[in-house]
Structure 1
Amino acid sequence: MSRVTLQGIPVSAGISVGKAFFMNRRSFENVPRHTVPESLVSAEQARLDLAFRNVHDELTQARDKIPTELADHGTIIDSHIMISRDPKLLARSKEIVRDTNITAEWALEKAVREVERKFEAIDDLYLRERISDIRLVAQRIIKKLLGQHHEEEVVGVSNRVVLMAHDLTPADTIGLDISKIMSLATVEGGKTSHTGILARSLQIPAMVGVTDLEKYVNDGDLVIIDGLKGKLIVNPEEHELELYSDLKYQFENYHKSIIRECQLPGETIDGYRINVFANVELFEELPAVLENGAEGVGLYRTEYSFLSRADLPGEDELTDEYVQMAEMLAPRKVVFRSLDLGADKLAKVFGDLREPNPALGLRAIRFSMRHRDLFRQQLKAVLRASVTGNVALMFPMISGINEIHEAKGVLREAQAELEKEGHAYDADMPVGIMVELPSTVFIADVLAHEVDFFSVGTNDLIQYSLGIDRLNRHVSYLYQPLHPAVIRSIKYVVDAGHQAGIEVSVCGELASDPYCVPILLGMGVDSISITPQAIPGIKRIIRQTTMEDCKNLLREVQELFQVSAINHTVRDTIFRRFPEELTFYASILDNEELPA
């Protein structure tokens, strides 16, 4: 038994040591690839019809049997149910059978490969990773075509195990005793994959995107899952077992201590209060929002409702979703961001524009203004939800004042329609914008008089300001949150907002980086909005510093002009102040080496 170290993406923090158990392996691994006589083509198409229908029924039944621990994951299974009845995937598979005389299984595999190629062209990481849902459903359908039973794979788990899988969904775990799962590791998935949401809700370590997992790990192997650094060690040596056992003990104690304090406010030692909100994209994350001490939702990404189905949701469906979200959080605030989608993501409905650069094309507010009926429908749903009294709305990717005027014009049209239809809404619902383009920064002093609040979207602001694609491995090293231009931009927006009397929030990865939060405090940011799991650690850092120290650090940083010098100064200062937090917390965030 040779020792092997595998790398992956950490999606749920923690350390575990245990025996590996594989639930499923590579998708499409045993698909029969051969042709069939012309006389059997219609029979193969019929097999596809039956398999799609059976998997749809199977998933529907699985949803009704979800264990209490996974009750909040119903909508994820709903998205898989929608895929299983997607007429386009079924129709394309049947077309391939007709045109090439191949088996139903092979035809479905080819249809999924075609969809994969389209998803690979999508710029947005979260949306690109949704192809994993289609693969998982297709895998179930192929198993049905092959006469295999999905549940057979999970029989025999009687002891606590480290669960391995090619990919994983809540539906896959129906037959498992959740208490027997120590941690998770999968081949597929990214930072925003459902495996991470599942693992975080179960509060167990997890990593995804583990290359060669199926090649080097066998059932019964002793493995270490390092959910802090994204490392999986197969058949570890004795000294590694001792090291990780100690690290596991330290982390669990640290995590317990920050969870005990997470409901306390984000307030510095000298009394400066900053609201700490959560970023959310799925209902399944709401329990984590409350459990981790969020004071509300500062960014609710509304895109998933439009991407998890073959058709577009109606106004009443969106209203039900938004009302449920607002009521579950009340009296905490929830900020709905209008659609931040591009034409490339909804090509199946609006046609494929084949844009050479979707990131700079018809997306976000530009897309909404092109499709005003869809935009107005969503705004009506948000307005109807606003009667709960805790709802705010913000528009993404605003580049100038005309876009604000146009968007607010559509909002007024939506209000007029609701009044005519007799639906109530909050006429004083706050309306803000995302600040994520350099053009918006430069005229922030003007735009601040047009809206009720700013929300600085740092992921896109950094990308557009520095002219780099942070997902491109060739230039990702240039993605520097503490670049002088980024710091100056955020500071200018904060000052412009406060001079106009409006609040300024910061969201994105920068806001959950412990090295950057003290600088945001020094700027006087009113709130931050971050991933729910980051909240307890960030709140601890806020409560252990003073506003005076943060302002001093900001002044020191503003006098530096080299990114390397800024990074060194900030990391040295923060690590000396918060050694325990940085030992665990920073490693979760950026997987980088810590200062000595």
Structure 2
Amino acid sequence: MARKIIGGIPVSSGVAIGKAFFLNRRKGSIKPRLAIFDAEVSKEIERLEHAILVVRQEMEEVKSKIPPELKEHEAILNSHLMILQDEKLFGRAKKIIQKQHINAEWAIEKSVFELEKIFNALDNEYIKQRIQDIHLVAEKVCAVLIGSQKTIPKISERVILLAHDLSPTDTVLLEVDKIMAFATALGGKTSHAGIMARSLQIPAVVGVEELEENIFDGELIILDGFEGKILIDPSEEELTKYTDLKYQFESYQALITRYCHLPAETIDGYQIRVFANIELFEEVTSVIDNGGEGIGLYRTEYSFLNRTDLPDEDELFEEYRDLASIMYPKPVIIRTLDIGADKVDNLFGQMEEANPALGLRGIRFCQKYKNIFRTQLRAILRAGVVGNLSIMFPMISGLHELQEVKKFYRQIQDELAKEGLDFNPDIPLGIMIELPAAVLIADLLAREVDFFSIGTNDLIQYALGIDRTNKHVSYLYQPLHPAVIRSIKHVVDAGHKAGIEVSLCGEVASDPFCVPILMGMEVDSISLTPRSIPGIKRIIRQASMEECKELLNKVLNSHDVFESNKIVRDMIFSRFPEELTFYTSLVDDKNNE
């Protein structure tokens, strides 16, 4: 048996066997806590400002040296540069120096602690995990203050890279061809280490407790990216087992990747388009590499986070234009801002909401803050000139609400026309169907738009009253619940009757146990995380519409979710045993929030 097995969060599937190589450790970076006199306050603030300037210059230099294989990650560095200008972090630290008469390192520590409390009070896991960005930037500034900036060590052989955390600066400067896998003590599903690992197609585990205390540099370890485990000093039996698993997975990945650019067409000729969900511009490369036929959901929230000001129209226009240009002629569906004021309280002040999930978010937020909505719509309309863009509105709950949004949209078009700016007046408009109210009036809503996109993540939660992140009730989160299947079927039928296309962009789209049912409903397209595309395409190409429709009818006639689960699993395991050997692991390897 291994000397010890430690666990974390799997964020990129696969197996790596090799020597451990620590990039950095937490210990050794202890920050001094010193009281200062009145006369030293201004000098201490100058120390802080100088350290911020040094880090900013370092990041700018790194940006200029980003290698081609990591060029798409420039957006992450830009977000860290914005944090350096954030008054809520370093402006707060300066005030702490002035009021409490303590040194800059201690003031930064206090400032980060206060921000961490605010972030942890939010209800969105993706937003919570952005505190890691603040930690990374704060650590870099403190390293300058205490004179402990570290140079990236030279890697002489292929290794499994371990670190307390990996910053974008670290990863850009690494020799990526010598890294077999990542493991970090910090981080979550959407941490930059995970994004980087998925982009490089290597295994990764983050949030590993006791990582730094238990592993020595040069020690042989096995990193299991399926289950999120690290085996330290493994036995011969474990080495044999994981070597075999590694070979099988790599062979399977090579097989499905080889054919991932083929259409997703069943053996009897039915074709369904397979798009990608992304939230960062840098993920475009992964979409193309994995055979994505377009982007079915571009989440635009990231551009509004980790900053002290709102993005202006030109900034958003350049982002959307570049995205549309790279993907052209493939389609890109841009979802307008789906965020609540509680997520950007640095811009709007803290808003007391007992239940933010049912509060001012999505289209409701945009209707209240029309200046933000206007800026985004103008940017999309202008970018539509160079690409195949569509616009999708989230959280629509009623017909009047949708009509008001469309009225405002037409006003924006009139503004652009009067100003003589080029824009695309014929961009297709769609809505997310994610509220039970929208399901029930899908026939009425379908007359007003060009397409539907069913967001099953929220729809299942709202329909079943389940918070899937709550460990006490998460077992009740059942995609094959009769109410969920019938709701999706109702929306698909209503859309098709009105002559519009219906897509599905929730996690159900990357679940091999659900995709055949969606095909049986004749959903026009599905949209999923890029890494999941090759496996789902392979399953579709081996299925027939006849068996998918038969499976759908059995599920629709089932009155119990446990019966539905059994019907589906029996069919899927008998038809696609090879695919499910690894693909069930990939289903859990998703970057959805």
How high is the TM-score relative to the length of structure 2?
0.97
Q: Residue by residue, what CA displacement relative to the aligned partner does 1:455-506 show, whole Å, maximum 9, x if unpaired? A: 0001111111111211122222221111111111111100111111111000
The Cα shift of 1:278 comes to 0.4
The Cα shift of 1:2 comes to 6.2
Return the alpha-carbon distance in structure 2 between the equivalents of residues 173 and 502 of structure 1: 44
* 3-state secondary structure, aligned to 2:385: helix
Give the AA of the match of 1:258. I
* 3-state secondary structure, aligned to 1:388: coil
User: Which position in structure 2 is the counterpart of 1:121?
Assistant: 121
Q: 1:419 to 1:492 in 2, by over 3 A?
A: same
* 3-state secondary structure, aligned to 1:80: helix
Residue pair 1:9, 1:230 contacting (<8 A) in 2 also: yes
Return the alpha-carbon distance in structure 1 between the equivalents of residues 548 and 569 of structure 2: 13
User: Which position in structure 1 is the counterpart of 2:438?
Assistant: 440
Pairing of 1:461-500 with structure 2 (within 5 A): 461-500=459-498
Return the alpha-carbon distance in structure 2 between the equivalents of residues 572 and 6 of structure 1: 34
Does 2:408 match 1:410?
A: yes
* 3-state secondary structure, aligned to 1:344: helix
Deviates more, 1:11-20 or 1:249-258: 11-20
Return the alpha-carbon distance in structure 2 between the equivalents of residues 159 and 287 of structure 1: 27
Pairing of 1:87-486 with structure 2 (within 5 A): 87-151=87-151, 154-486=152-484
* 3-state secondary structure, aligned to 1:346: helix
Return the alpha-carbon distance in structure 2 between the equivalents of residues 468 and 107 of structure 1: 41
Give the AA of the match of 1:551. K
The Cα shift of 1:380 comes to 0.9
Q: Residue by residue, what CA displacement relative to the aligned partner does 1:306-353 show, whole Å, maximum 9, x if unpaired? A: 114221111111111111110110000000100001011121112211
Deviates more, 1:375-384 or 1:565-574: 565-574
* 3-state secondary structure, aligned to 2:449: coil
Q: Residue by residue, what CA displacement relative to the aligned partner does 1:343-401 show, whole Å, maximum 9, x if unpaired? A: 11121112211212111111110000001121011111111111135110010000111
Give the AA of the match of 1:343. A
Return the alpha-carbon distance in structure 2 between the equivalents of residues 435 and 105 of structure 1: 48
User: Which position in structure 2 is the counterpart of 1:558?
Assistant: 556
Residue pair 2:70, 2:172 contacting (<8 A) in 1 also: no
User: Which position in structure 1 is the counterpart of 2:572?
Assistant: 574
Residue pair 1:389, 1:426 contacting (<8 A) in 2 also: no
Return the alpha-carbon distance in structure 2 between the equivalents of residues 222 and 36 of structure 1: 47
Q: Residue by residue, what CA displacement relative to the aligned partner does 1:209-243 show, whole Å, maximum 9, x if unpaired? A: 22222232222221111112222211111111000
Give the AA of the match of 1:90. F
Return the alpha-carbon distance in structure 2 between the equivalents of residues 490 and 377 of structure 1: 33
The percent identity for this pair of structures is: 58
Residue pair 1:277, 1:530 contacting (<8 A) in 2 also: yes
User: Which position in structure 1 is the counterpart of 2:48?
Assistant: 48
Does 2:542 match 1:544?
A: yes
The Cα shift of 1:245 comes to 0.2
- Give unpaired runs (5+ residues) of structure 1: none
Return the alpha-carbon distance in structure 2 between the equivalents of residues 564 and 29 of structure 1: 52
Return the alpha-carbon distance in structure 1 between the equivalents of residues 168 and 334 of structure 2: 26
* 3-state secondary structure, aligned to 1:487: helix
Return the alpha-carbon distance in structure 2 between the equivalents of residues 322 and 315 of structure 1: 10
Return the alpha-carbon distance in structure 1 between the equivalents of residues 255 and 2 of structure 2: 37
Q: Residue by residue, what CA displacement relative to the aligned partner does 1:497-530 show, whole Å, maximum 9, x if unpaired? A: 1111111000111110111111111111100000
* 3-state secondary structure, aligned to 2:341: coil
Deviates more, 1:500-509 or 1:229-238: 229-238
CA RMSD of aligned residues (A): 1.6
The Cα shift of 1:103 comes to 2.1
User: Which position in structure 2 is the counterpart of 1:71?
Assistant: 71
Return the alpha-carbon distance in structure 1 between the equivalents of residues 361 and 415 of structure 2: 26
Return the alpha-carbon distance in structure 1 between the equivalents of residues 391 and 576 of structure 2: 36
* 3-state secondary structure, aligned to 1:185: strand
* 3-state secondary structure, aligned to 2:533: helix
* 3-state secondary structure, aligned to 1:201: helix
User: Which position in structure 1 is the counterpart of 2:83?
Assistant: 83
Q: Residue by residue, what CA displacement relative to the aligned partner does 1:537-592 show, whole Å, maximum 9, x if unpaired? A: 00000000001111111111122222222222212210111111101011222389
Residue pair 1:454, 1:504 contacting (<8 A) in 2 also: yes
Give the AA of the match of 1:80. H
Give the AA of the match of 1:99. K
Residue pair 2:23, 2:153 contacting (<8 A) in 1 also: no
Return the alpha-carbon distance in structure 2 between the equivalents of residues 512 and 29 of structure 1: 42
Residue pair 2:88, 2:346 contacting (<8 A) in 1 also: no
Residue pair 1:56, 1:85 contacting (<8 A) in 2 also: no
Residue pair 1:97, 1:107 contacting (<8 A) in 2 also: yes
The Cα shift of 1:29 comes to 5.4
Give the AA of the match of 1:398. I
Give the AA of the match of 1:293. G
Return the alpha-carbon distance in structure 2 between the equivalents of residues 496 and 194 of structure 1: 40
Residue pair 1:372, 1:410 contacting (<8 A) in 2 also: no
Return the alpha-carbon distance in structure 2 between the equivalents of residues 191 and 290 of structure 1: 22
* 3-state secondary structure, aligned to 1:585: helix
Does 2:42 match 1:10?
A: no
Residue pair 1:17, 1:223 contacting (<8 A) in 2 also: yes
User: Which position in structure 2 is the counterpart of 1:585?
Assistant: 583
Return the alpha-carbon distance in structure 2 between the equivalents of residues 238 and 209 of structure 1: 27
Return the alpha-carbon distance in structure 2 between the equivalents of residues 41 and 527 of structure 1: 61
Deviates more, 1:545-554 or 1:209-218: 209-218
- Give unpaired runs (5+ residues) of structure 2: none
Give the AA of the match of 2:446. A
* 3-state secondary structure, aligned to 1:317: helix
Residue pair 1:229, 1:591 contacting (<8 A) in 2 also: no
Return the alpha-carbon distance in structure 1 between the equivalents of residues 160 and 282 of structure 2: 23
Deviates more, 1:296-305 or 1:228-237: 228-237
How high is the TM-score relative to the length of structure 1?
0.96
Q: 1:591 to 1:183 in 2, by over 3 A?
A: closer
* 3-state secondary structure, aligned to 2:35: coil
Q: 1:45 to 1:389 in 2, by over 3 A?
A: closer
Return the alpha-carbon distance in structure 2 between the equivalents of residues 287 and 389 of structure 1: 17
Residue pair 2:13, 2:585 contacting (<8 A) in 1 also: no
